[in-house]
Amino acid sequence: MTLVIILVISYLLGAIPTSYLVVHRLTGRDIRDLGDGNPGMMNVWDSVGLPAAIVVGFGDVGKGMAAVILALVADTHEVAPLLAGLVAIIGHDYSIFLMLDGGNGMATAAGAISALAPLAAAPSIAAAIAVWQISGSRRVGGIVGLLLVPALAYLSSDTQVVAGIVLLMTLTALKIISFEGFTPARSRLNR
């Protein structure tokens, strides 16, 4: 399988609009018309509830993991897994199925990172959940978990994987900042 085919499949995997499909199935509504308008897992949680958000989360994480695993199995080029993860995130953020609209890519990035560096991802996810439970803030828990990933990956992976993880996280952070700005409010109406 060529790198181009892997990247096309990775984009299409990422572009599957999990939140739209789940919310439309459960409520008959478009997630982009609910809450902050972001077709992502956190807006599903806020607007529809935790059970729906869990389904969306598994789907979005799975998209990132599947793209990286596809590239690892195909073994076409050493940077193919990183590129596949990146393209899956782009697919999630700019889905062809939602007329180039999409979520922030955090869950898809978490899936790609989990497949690239599973020994770093698992303890980072556990730390994020613990901090969220202690602080009561999903955002603080997520930030702590994200900051741990590159440090733990450095201990268990090569520098190319660490650099790739930092790139994926940086691009995802830029998308979040472009949507939310630097305020804690998550609403397009406040921009």
| Domain extent listing, the chain | 3-117+157-190
Phi, psi of 101 (to 5 degrees): -100, 165
What pLDDT shows up at residue 71? 94
Q: Give the residue from 3, 12, 38, 2 showing the smallest Cα distance to 23.
A: 38
What pLDDT shows up at residue 179? 62
What pLDDT shows up at residue 180? 60
What pLDDT shows up at residue 69? 95
What pLDDT shows up at residue 163? 81
Q: How far apart are CA 85 and CA 87, in angstroms?
A: 6
Residue pair 131/140 in contact by the 8 Å Cβ criterion: yes
Token pair for 51: 């059970």
Residue found by looking up tokens 């303890």 in the block: 123
Q: Is the dihedral of CA 141, 54, 179, 183 positive or negative?
A: negative
Q: What is the DSSP letter of 164?
A: H
Q: How far apart are CA 150 and CA 75, in angstroms?
A: 24
Low-confidence residues of the chain: pLDDT under 50: 186-191
Residue pair 155/122 in contact by the 8 Å Cβ criterion: no
**pTM score above 0.75:** yes
Phi, psi of 95 (to 5 degrees): -75, 130
What pLDDT shows up at residue 189? 38
Q: How far apart are the first and last CA of the chain?
A: 44
Cβ atoms within 10 A of the Cβ of 179, count?
18
What pLDDT shows up at residue 170? 79
What pLDDT shows up at residue 23? 95
